[in-house]
Each structure stands twice: as structure tokens, then as C-alpha cells.
Structure 1
Amino acid sequence: MIAGVDEAGRGPLAGPVTVAAVILKTIPDGLNDSKKLSEKKRTALLPLIKSMSVAWSVVHVSPEEIDDMNILQATLWGMQQAVQQLEVQPIEVLVDGNQVPKMTLPCRALVGGDGLEACISAASIIAKCHRDSLMLEAHQKFPEYGFNQHKGYPTKAHMEALSKWGPCAIHRRSFAPVRAAEQQGLFV
């Protein structure tokens, strides 16, 4: 009954940071850090992970919450919320990274944990798939930014769109490139 916790989306300029927590009952074949898997492989693993888990949860921390708290605190808060939302309470929580959220349960941070522990790998995949899905929805609303391609990360294409169009409603205003574009007086 060990929960793995990981996030997707700390580095992007737009969209939420998404945190997942999962307790596996069976380990699906092919688990790994979501960044080391193709989109096709992650998408294929997602329903397997969910069906082979005792419990799982997903929390999206909004751009406004990120701006209010800062990205680190928003991520830690999201981790805390994701564990609290599990339908089954774990006996221990394993977190990818070097910091743990405040919680009453025993909690350990594992640097590179998403490549070491199956439950963290599973959380990594859940978080990435759910966040990518939200960014595809955002692309429908704001197609000029190309969120379907870069998912909000600061690629050359995203930086060019930000410079041309300014920030949209899902941009993180506390991030320097977004702040700079906002100061140019551009708004979508």
C-alpha cells in the first residue's frame, strides 16, 4: 500500500502543473519515467495502470495558483492534495524529486524515482497523460500558441507566439518570459 507521486508540467510557461498519486496492486509491463516513453506508449499504458491500481488520483494546480504560491510550493501542495484524494490511505508515500510535501504519512523523496519505483513511474505517466489532454483542449481555445505541439513548454515556436500574441488566460504570469510579454501590452 505504497503510493507513488509525481508531477508533469513544472517547466512550462502555460497550463497547470498536474500531480498524480497511485497505489498499484499489479505492476504493468513497460513502466518507466513518462519522459522516456513515447506518447503512444504512455497512452497505451494509462488504462492498464488505472485498472491495475488500488487507487489513483489527479490534481491540476492552475496557473493562478502557481502564480500565487510559486511553482515549487504549488507542486508540493498538489502532491499533498493528490495523496489526500486517494480512496485508500497508503502506509507510505514515495515522491519523485528531492523534497516532500507536508503530510502526516511517512514520505520519502527519491531523486530519479520515476525511473526507479514502479508506483512513481505510474504516477508520472498518469500526470503526463492528463496534463497533455488538458493542453490539447487549450489548443482548441487558443490555437495560435500551438499548445498541441509543445504543451506550454518554452520552445522556439511558443516563445515566438508569446512575443506576437502576448499571454493568454492559461499563461503563468509569474514566469519571466510571460511577464515580459505582458509588459509589452499584448493580451489574448
Structure 2
Amino acid sequence: MALKNQFSSFDFECGTDEAGRGCLAGPVTAAAVVLPPTFKNTILNDSKQLSEKKRMLLKPIIETEAIAFSVQHIFENEIDDINILNASIKAMHASIAQLRVIPNYIVVDGNKFKPYESIPYTTIIKGDCKFINIAAASILAKTYRDIYMEKIHEEFPMYNWKQNKGYPTKEHRAAIKKYGITKYHRKSFRLLPEQYRLDL
């Protein structure tokens, strides 16, 4: 099914989405994207439906053709301070704030958001499978976060973040049991062994 270009009839509708919400390590990353109303791409879909190769292929296309885009990380200490939902929304707000045009409508993937300035918005469950601007944001959020996780993998290769990107895979959890946690781990997450958690 082809994705729709826009939800509203506004000139500068911004799609926003985040990546890394369910991870044990690394930032939550959000992107905001304003695409031209005529933008078309046959490969572009929700980033979770695409291979890594296709996402990396789409990244420069989105960056080149977008009217505006921005990507922002919120790091683990802040996630622990304000919780992952608030951190995800804060990352989306930060990415919208950095756009070089002020959007006049915002469409958000999922069902949770807080008003940004006085810009009207709509939350759309599975929005990244329905609207091309949210799908583009999901791809930028995912690719930028993956690149960051590959970079910090070099510092702590035993967790294999270049492969699991900080998600709670069996291998990642086994490495935490064996080596403990790093400065990049989120200490408020329940999947961490009890001795490392902040909430006890």
C-alpha cells in the first residue's frame, strides 16, 4: 500500500518519530522531517520494514530532498532522570526546534505526544506505515542512532552493539551479567540485573 504524502493540507507538515525506545544502552533518537508535497520514493516505508542496506540508501535521499530535517539524541542519564516516554517526546521536540522552517502542522508516530509551541498536531498509531514524512523521520532516527551505536561499540566491543544496537538481546543481557554495565547503559530499565538498577 502506497504511503500518503500528508495528513493535513498545510504547506510545512512535519513528520516525527523516534528510535531506540526499548534499548538497554545508548540514546533515544528522534527525527523531524518536512518533505515537499510532491516527494515520491518507491522504497520508502517504515524503517522497521526495511533492511539496513535500504535504510542507509534512503538516508541521503531524504536529507537531500527534504525541505528541512533534524535529528536529536537524548542520552542515557537524562532518560534515567525523566523516563523513556518523556525522553522520547523531548527528543522529538528538540528535533522539531532545530528545523530550518517552522512547521505549521506536526504528525507524530504513536499515540503519545505533548504540545510543541502552539503548533497543531495529530498522533497516528503505526503512522510510519501510513505517511511518508513519518516514515522518513523513522529512517533518519534509526540510521543516525545505528551509526552512533556502531561508534560506541568500538569502546565496548564485548556487548556487540554494532549488531544489537543496544536492544535487550540474549547476547547483550549475557554480556551485562558477565561484564557489568557501562556509562552508556540506562540504569532505570527493568531488564538490567537488580544490582545495577536505579529504581530499587
TM-score of the two chains, using structure 2 as the length reference: 0.89
After TM superposition, the runs of 4+ consecutive aligned structure 1 residues lying more than 3 A away are none
How much identity, in percent, do the aligned residues show?
46
Task: Select the residue among 23, 28, 31 that pairs with 2:34.
Answer: 23
Amino acid at match of 1:40: K
Residue 150 (structure 1) aligned with residue 164 (structure 2): yes
Q: How many positions carry a matched residue from both structures?
A: 183
Distance 1:41 1:84 in 2: 28
Structure 2 residue runs of 5 or longer lacking an equivalent are 1-11
Residue 2 (structure 1) aligned with residue 43 (structure 2): no
Structure 1 residue runs of 5 or longer lacking an equivalent are 184-188
Q: Aligned with 1:87: secondary structure?
A: coil
Match in the other structure for 2:140: 126
Q: Aligned with 1:169: secondary structure?
A: coil
Match in the other structure for 1:93: 106
Shift of 1:175: 0.5
Shift of 1:91: 1.1
State whether residues 166 and 178 of structure 1, in contact with CA within 8 Å, keep that contact through their aligned partners in structure 2. no
For residues 152-167 of structure 1, the aligned pairs below 5 Å read 152-167=166-181
RMSD: 1.1
Match in the other structure for 1:47: 60
Shift of 1:12: 0.4
State whether residues 28 and 49 of structure 1, in contact with CA within 8 Å, keep that contact through their aligned partners in structure 2. no
Distance 1:71 1:15 in 2: 12
Amino acid at match of 1:108: T
Residue 181 to residue 162, structure 1, CA distance change in 2 (3 Å): farther
Where is the helix percentage greater, Structure 1 or Structure 2? 1
Match in the other structure for 1:12: 23
State whether residues 24 and 168 of structure 2, in contact with CA within 8 Å, keep that contact through their aligned partners in structure 1. yes
Shift of 1:162: 0.6
State whether residues 177 and 193 of structure 2, in contact with CA within 8 Å, keep that contact through their aligned partners in structure 1. no
Amino acid at match of 2:89: L
Match in the other structure for 2:115: 102
Residue 169 (structure 1) aligned with residue 186 (structure 2): no
Cα displacement string for residues 161-182 of structure 1 (whole angstroms, at most 9, x for unaligned residues): 0100111010000012325252
